[in-house]
């Protein structure tokens, strides 16, 4: 493309202000009658004589105004780094349409951070916790060896380091890259344990994390954790789901990376924890009434490095009332309220979501089957009989595990009929 012909130009700018701008970007600003941007960015252009609009709060209203002004004037919007990288670009294009916006990017803050650290970034995962929750960050990091993060005041590098250490991800080196491109730029390389104690990080920063263990390999894609990996309750309080059964159960739940999951009657948390590993960008809720189970769910999640399991102490169905709508519900324990829990699950599941129930007793199986048929739902039912080879003297012989019935249905998109 030659000279810009579009009424709105989105100019990426670094912390060095006008100094780092290309002549094309400078031309766009000088042709503009209206300059839009954050206070910090507008301050780089004290000589600008046209109208200034500061970006603060309600972006929708500002973009409506920009759209109106752009009918007959050149408007230039300033944004940091590459405006289409976790920036304002997506909203500007959604409002005005790509054909009406010219984008002139600067190097992203992340690109500058890798340049300062002297690290290749082709194999890095690029994430943002800027204005987002830290939930699940450690679960996601479990599969990564090199990461860069956009942070903010609340989700700061020391807080991230503390959360990583709490969940057992301590063997990383950090580069904290502050005010990149500016006169007061600072880049510090330090071990994670030291970063957790630092108190003077500028909110404008990029955090790079690299594993220190060069022999590290990502964990298996399918968790398949042995029961011995979990601290367990006394057997008379409930049995832990065996790993072979967990595999089939989690498969039936049709989990996606961003699924919201309810594990009702979570026990020691084995289903919830593996679900959270498979859905690191989602949220898993482990609902458990027994205080010992609640403590075990929390301890097991921490021990296994999973920071996206939220343990909800209480009895279902009442304890489900305030949880976000799920994509998958697993019922492993119902304390006599199976029908009521199935009703709540079917009412709250998102269309296409999955309800999966494991029944050991004939009574439980009858209850869930009747609850589903009474609502015109025919479940997939799998009777699973597993036998594991166990040592007997110098031989191996099979030892049968409890038979389990797995009931699974897809939530209908129409309202579920009242029970008959």
Ligand X SMILES: C[S@@+](CC[C@H](N)C(=O)[O-])C[C@H]1O[C@@H](n2cnc3c(N)ncnc32)[C@H](O)[C@@H]1O
Torsion of CA 405, 410, 414, 419, to 10 degrees: 10
Contact window for ligand X (CB under 6 A) among 46-54, 76-84, 135-143, 353-361: 76-84
- 205 near ligand X, judged by CB under 6 A: yes
Contact window for ligand X (CB under 6 A) among 1-9, 18-26, 43-51, 77-85: 77-85
Among 38, 121, 134, 152, binds ligand X (CB under 6 A): 152
Size of the site for ligand X (CB under 6 A): 23
- 109 near ligand X, judged by CB under 6 A: yes
Distance of alpha carbon 181 from its chain centroid, rounded? Answer: 30
Nearer to ligand X, 60 or 212 (CB): 60
Cβ–Cβ under 8 Å, residues 205 and 117: no
Among 44, 85, 175, 285, binds ligand X (CB under 6 A): 85
Contact window for ligand X (CB under 6 A) among 31-39, 117-125, 198-206, 361-369: 198-206
- 337 near ligand X, judged by CB under 6 A: no
Burial of 415 (0-12, 13-18, 19+ CB in 10 A): exposed
Question: Who's near 322: CB < 8 A, 6+ residues apart?
Answer: none
Contact window for ligand X (CB under 6 A) among 148-156, 243-251, 333-341, 347-355: 148-156
Shortest distance in whole angstroms from residue 115 CB to ligand X: 12
The rounded distance, in Å, linking the Cα atoms of 49 and 33 is 8
Nearer to ligand X, 4 or 81 (CB): 81
The rounded distance, in Å, linking the Cα atoms of 258 and 269 is 19
Among 124, 147, 150, 273, binds ligand X (CB under 6 A): 150
Among 21, 37, 78, 87, binds ligand X (CB under 6 A): 87
Q: Could you tell me how many residues make up the chain?
A: 420
Question: Who's near 256: CB < 8 A, 6+ residues apart?
Answer: 279, 282, 327
Among 116, 155, 179, 348, binds ligand X (CB under 6 A): 179
- Which residues contact ligand X by CB under 6 A? 14-15, 80-83, 85-87, 108-109, 130, 150-152, 177, 179-182, 204-206
């Amino acid at each position: 493309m030659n000279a810009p012909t579009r009424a709105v130009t989105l100019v990426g700018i670094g912390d060095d202000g006008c100094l780092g701008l290309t002549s094309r970007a400078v031309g766009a600003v000088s042709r503009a009658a209206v300059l839009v941007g954050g206070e910090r960015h507008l301050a780089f252009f004290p000589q600008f004589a046209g109208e200034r609009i500061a970006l603060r709060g309600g972006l929708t209203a500002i973009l409506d105004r920009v759209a109106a002004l752009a009918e007959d004037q050149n408007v230039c919007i300033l944004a940091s780094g590459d405006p289409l990288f976790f920036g304002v670009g997506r909203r500007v294009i959604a409002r005005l349409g790509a054909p009406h916006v010219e984008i002139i990017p600067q190097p992203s803050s992340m690109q500058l951070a890798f340049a300062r650290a002297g690290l290749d970034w082709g194999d890095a995962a690029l994430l943002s916790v800027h204005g987002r929750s830290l939930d699940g960050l450690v679960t996601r990091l479990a599969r990564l060896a090199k990461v860069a993060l956009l942070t903010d005041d609340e989700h700061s590098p020391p807080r991230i380091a503390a959360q990583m250490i709490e969940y057992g991800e301590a063997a990383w080196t950090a580069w904290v890259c502050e005010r990149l491109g500016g006169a007061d730029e600072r880049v510090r390389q330090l071990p994670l344990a030291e970063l957790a104690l630092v108190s003077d990080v500028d909110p404008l920063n990029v955090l790079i994390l690299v594993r220190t263990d060069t022999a590290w390999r990502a964990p298996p894609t399918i968790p398949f954790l042995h029961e011995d990996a979990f601290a367990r309750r006394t057997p008379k309080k409930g049995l832990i789901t065996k790993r072979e059964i967990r595999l089939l159960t989690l498969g039936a739940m049709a989990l996606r990376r961003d699924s919201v999951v309810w594990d009702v009657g979570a026990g020691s948390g084995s289903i919830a924890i593996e679900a959270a590993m498979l859905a690191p960008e989602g949220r898993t809720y482990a609902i458990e009434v027994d205080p010992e189970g609640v403590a075990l769910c929390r301890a097991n999640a921490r021990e296994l490095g999973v920071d996206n399991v939220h343990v909800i102490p209480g009895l279902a169905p009442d304890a489900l009332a305030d949880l976000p709508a799920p994509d998958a519900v697993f019922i492993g324990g119902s304390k006599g309220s199976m029908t009521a829990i199935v009703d709540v699950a079917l009412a709250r599941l998102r269309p296409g979501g999955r309800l999966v129930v494991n029944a050991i007793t004939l009574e439980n199986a009858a209850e869930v089957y009747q609850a589903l048929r009474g609502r015109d739902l025919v479940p997939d039912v799998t009777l699973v009989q597993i036998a594991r080879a166990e040592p007997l003297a110098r031989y191996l012989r099979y030892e049968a595990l409890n038979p389990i019935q797995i009931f699974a249905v897809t939530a209908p998109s129409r309202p579920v009929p009242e029970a008959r």
